[in-house]
Amino acid sequence: MIATKRTESVEALRFSLNGQEIGVLTHYSGGKNIFVFSPDYAALAQTERQTFTMTQLANKQYLSKPLISSQRLTPVLSNLLPEGALRDWMARSLKVHVDNEFPLMAHMGKNLPGALQAELIPAGNVPKWALDHREQVEAVQVDVEHSQNKFSLAGVQMKFSSVKSKDGRFNIGQDDNSDSWIIKTPSTVHKFVPYNEYTAMRLAEVVGVDIPEIKLVKMTDLDNLPDIQLPNEIHAYAIKRFDRQKGQRVHTEDLAQVFQVYSHDKYKKHNYEQIANAMYQFGSQGLKNVQQMARRLLVNILLANGDAHLKNWSLIYQDGTKPILSPAYDIVSTISYVEGEQEFALNMAKNKNWYQAEMASFEAWAKRIGVPWQAIKVHLEETLELARTHWLQMLTELPMDELHQQTLKTHWQNLHQNFRIDYA
């Protein structure tokens, strides 16, 4: 007697990078998600194949196996989706659970970070190779239920994609790749976050941190802003999308995707040595990337930014195949919002405490990566010299709240003497 298979309905999305098919994500009614790489994509020579994730550069078998998960998508896809308030808002609008990630992906698949896009596959058109990995289940193809729209972008604040028009206004929800920006609205929990982040990013820029174009935008200059609760503050923070260049999408991925870590573990399991080591081994311009990373780590110490977790470090694939460190983003002086905070987001040279960090910490970090210490030291010394020369005057001109400025100056006095910035 031949046993009959149980049946489950299945929805599917096709993923592509700038027109090159990467694979198919199937979602079964029982909650199973299976991402299968396209056989044609896997068979391409590496020089002809756009890179989906740095993991495939480190693991040559990565493309040969399906990525299987339940409810949440596999981390390399899950980390493309929003966190926090924006995720809750989207889930409520779709009437789905916040951890049921396939509907969220179907909803926003045309405006994911980077160059990756997901399109709906109509019932009957799912390729056989995408359905061969559930031997005990007979798949009944159905149309994807949730339509797509343009609200997206990962992050814990309310962030929206937008396009800047010629008159200087920003159209929320649009993304035609010509002049694309991320708008971060003021927080209902913390005061003056746009001013804090704008100031921190400007301070980082002057000491050699690579940042995108940034602006403070009047809330009255935002068109089509959704009806969400907002505080009575004048400005939002705008940062130009570095994954949109010259009318084209450019592929990016954050380090949580690289290390296959879910967003709730973005403060755990990995450290700053592992981030640098991955770039040094498998990225393009490895030493240059590590030098820029060292500069940013020092800036995070100086600015008391405790939020430089795995999702706040990203790679960008300018040539489509080999990654480099992306421009910096989400640099905030978090000590103004977290009373008593004194730690990095991740370990560096077996230490998480800002006030215990010194030049020797960076030397140990460099040695653990295997990069020449002198090649790192010169960048740290330049960063310190520029900060000590410019930051005090800049603070008088930048819009950071006065109480936040004073908290930052007190922080400088508590740092190790190697990094102290005098303001008396």
Contact partners, residue 121, CB within 8 Å, separation at least 6: 12, 13, 14, 24, 144
The answer to whether the beta carbons of residues 25 and 34 sit under 8 Å apart is: yes
Contact partners, residue 27, CB within 8 Å, separation at least 6: 10, 11, 12, 13, 33, 102
Q: Is 88 a catalytic residue?
A: no
CA distance 142 to 348: 48
Catalytic residue among 307, 330, 401, 422: 307
The answer to whether the beta carbons of residues 104 and 96 sit under 8 Å apart is: yes
Q: What is the CA radius of gyration of the chain?
A: 23
For residue 148 the two structure tokens come to 């797509």
The answer to whether the beta carbons of residues 179 and 192 sit under 8 Å apart is: no
CA distance 43 to 24: 16
Q: Phi and psi (nearest 5°) for 237? A: -105, 135
Q: Can you tell me whether residue 204 is helix, strand or coil?
A: helix
Which residues are tagged catalytic? 307
